[in-house]
Amino acid sequence: MKKIINAPESFVDEFVEGILLAHPDLVKTPGDDLRVLARADAPRQGHVGIVTGGGSGHLPLFKGYVGTGLCSAVAIGNVFSSPSSDQIFEATKAVDGGAGVLYLYGNYGGDVLNFDLAADLAELEDISTRTVLGRDDVASQPRERKLDRRGVAGIIFAYKAAGAAAERGDSLDEVAAITEDVIEHTATMGIGLAPTILPTTGRPSFELEEGEMEIGIGIHGEPGSRRGPLETADEIADHVVEALVADLDLKSGARVAVMVNGLGATPLEELYVLYRRTHQILAESGIEIAKNYVGEYATSLEMAGASISLLELNDERLALLEAPAKSPFFQEG
């Protein structure tokens, strides 16, 4: 696999530097560590800060959602690796405006450990924190074990809601409750067609036979629920949307936001083919799509495949999604 990089060990710092040079009006490094980015106007006094973080390789996930009406800062790990607790703590201090800080990130062991350590450090500095974990991957655990699910593309809905609530001046407890509510009503499932090649090793993150696909794959190549022959786009959408609707127990008359997300190497045209069938399925079930997103929102370097996310909406959740937001990779309003 050919890659446009310099030395593999400098890959993360160099693409972060590129983001900073391209978007100095939106993001900054609050200190000397390139692995910590904050919105350009941080800290905002009297407003809740929102810190996210995770491994590199998923742009625009994590780093791309720092900005107005979204996250306040991000701690950046190596490819598919957690950021350190020190980096998370630096991000926390950079966005603390006296109203506390929400930690919002995916449910992965290394991230949980290091964010918890950072929360302990923040407590010593009298910075209040709350944690909400993205855990929307329905293929990773059944509904009765939903607290153990992985966090994948559906966390973008949570970023949007949390950022809008913080922007309007909600308290830390209110922002955390709103974010938890959105996570509770979000479900995602991914399908993988070909692996990513890790820059540091040159090896694939997983292996699939020619003509094979995997339903339920994770964004690091974690095993899905089943493998089998490549299906048509309509068959894929049928399997995935049926699982998401059942998981959220959606009925006729429900409203949803839909995200069809590319994992890095899937053409936009193919994503719209998936969206076409997703729209048909939901319409046939009497479920209204009030908001849709089609594109790359949470990738896995050049992994081929896609994910579909549904967020069950009420008036409050829809208003939060539609509130103004702007970051290097996302804009609303």
Q: Which residues are catalytic?
A: 58, 220
Q: Which long-range contacts (CB under 8 A, 24 or more apart) does 206-215 make?
A: 213/305, 215/139, 215/189, 215/191, 215/239, 215/240
CB 12 within 8 A of CB 79: yes
State the sign of the Cα–Cα–Cα–Cα dihedral 154, 155, 156, 158.
positive
- The separation between CA 213 and the C-alpha centre of its own chain, rounded to angstroms, equals 23
Instruction: Tell me the C-alpha distance between 13 and 201, whole Å.
Output: 17
Cα-Cα-Cα-Cα dihedral of 34, 298, 25, 114, to 10°?
-40
Instruction: Tell me the C-alpha distance between 29 and 38, whole Å.
Output: 6
Phi, psi of 96 (to 5 degrees): -75, 115
DSSP code at position 85: H
Tokens describing residue 197: 């090649």
Which residue intervals of the chain are DSSP H helices? 11-22, 85-95, 109-124, 155-167, 172-184, 233-248, 268-284, 315-322
CB 37 within 8 A of CB 16: yes
The 10 Å Cβ neighbour count of residue 124 is 8
Which residue intervals of 130-232 are DSSP H helices? 155-167, 172-184
∠ CA 269-303-85, rounded to 5°: 125
Which residue reads 């929400």 in tokens? 102
